[in-house]
Amino acid sequence: MYSAMIKGSRDVEEGLRFLRELKLKTNLTPKLRSYTPLLSKLADNQEKLMTPACRNEEEKEEKENGMVEIGMGLLEEMVEGGIELNEVSYLHLLTSLLPSPPSFIQVLHHFMEEILLPTLPALLDVIKRFFEERVDEEWEVTICEIDESNGRILDDSNNQLQVRTKLNL
């Protein structure tokens, strides 16, 4: 019931309130299906902030920071609760973290430990977008096809994102 309430919530704050109620009133441990709708709402909020309609930079930055804090907090809760994220959850979480390179990289490392090869095109697009937006800063982005049996790079295609840093970080 609470998962449906979280999914149908008007915004992230209401969804968080339902998640807290689930934990406090029922003594149940939330499952991934309770967290994924919240991560989706965070990603949607981030996408809205990236539109030209959001003109107030100060307000935008404040909202982005709040979403990053919420996203990282939800990840921490899920990891502590033994919840394994799937690619859809990582897609939403990484999308919500686009404005925060340190958080994005931290979650990307977590993703790479859990899921070796992304299969969702949308997830590859978000990862590629993150690095392409920063290509002049410190990243070189190459898309390569890999052999799934041994993980070796085959040729230039759109199946695997490979990132090489230009600088030693």
Whether residue 34 is contained in a domain is answered as yes
Residue 54 lies in domain: 2-116
* 161 pLDDT more than 70: no
A 10 A CB-CB count for 148 gives 11
Whole-number pLDDT of residue 139: 59
* Crossing angle of the two packed helices 57-80 and 32-49, in degrees rounded to 10: 160
pLDDT in tens, 67-87: 889 999 999 999 999 999 999
The answer to whether position 48 is within a domain reads yes
What is the spatial distance between Cα 14 and Cα 146, in angstroms, rounded to a whole number?
42
* Domain contains 139: no
User: Which segments of the chain are extended strands (E)?
Assistant: 139-146, 153-165
For the chain, how many residues are written? 169
> What digits encode the pLDDT tens for the residues 96-145?
999 888 899 999 988 988 876 788 889 988 988 888 887 666 655 566 66
Q: Are 125 and 100 contacting, i.e. CB atoms less than 8 angstroms apart? A: no
Number of domains composing the chain:
1
pLDDT at 168: 40
Mean pLDDT taken over the chain: 79
What phi and psi values does residue 50 have, to the nearest 5 degrees?
-85, 0
Closest CA to 2 of 15, 11, 10: 15
